[in-house]
Amino acid sequence: MFRGGHFSTLRTKIKDAEILKATLRDLGIVVKTEADVRGYNGQRVRSDVVAVLEGEYDIGWNQNSDGSYDLIADLWGVGKNHNQMELIRAINYKYAVNKTLAELKQRGVIKKMKCPRCTSTQIGKYGYFQGKQNYICRNCGTQFADF
């Protein structure tokens, strides 16, 4: 794998690719798997998970032998259109929140939300109303708020 040129590799504490992908989608970022990270002057690096960013540069993650993921990016290039430190901080923060929620759900502390109409668990966030999180059922289209 090519990691030369303008690409930097940073160690992370990220260990769950599915939570990483969900995190990126939560942040409105397009996600690809087993894809190229775009860098300076058309250079590319293959990565396990890729955050496709606006502009000509992406961020990727590759799994290590210990199960953690390294972040790979042309940080200078990413910085042309994004504040790279804020972006990475937002990804790490949202990942930590999603990881904690997943662990709590797995332990049964948090129950998976169900649609009150059709009982589907295919629920998505749908804004706020009167200070409460609203949801929409992806199965039947019912909108409802936190209980």
Specify if 54 maps to a domain. yes
- Look at residue 15 and tell me if it is in a domain: yes
pLDDT of residue 2: 45
What was the pLDDT predicted at 72? 97
Do residue 122 and residue 79 come from a single domain?
A: no
Q: What residues make up the domain containing 97?
A: 8-107
Same domain, 70 and 141: no
**Are 23 and 90 in a shared domain?**
yes
Same domain, 80 and 97: yes
The answer as to whether 70 is a domain residue is: yes
Q: Is the dihedral of CA 101, 106, 111, 113 positive or negative?
A: positive
**Cα–Cα distance list, 6 to 36, 37, 42, 63, 137 (Å):** 15, 12, 11, 20, 44
Residue spans of the chain under pLDDT 50: 1-3
**This prediction's pTM:** 0.73
Give residue 109's pLDDT: 76
- Is residue 98 in some structural domain? yes
CA 44 to chain centre: 21
In a domain, 3, yes or no: no
pLDDT score, position 61: 99
* pLDDT number for residue 147: 58
Sheet holding 59-63, edge to edge: 8-11, 69-73, 59-63, 44-52, 30-38
| Burial of 59 (C-beta count, 10 Å sphere; 0-12/13-18/19+) | buried
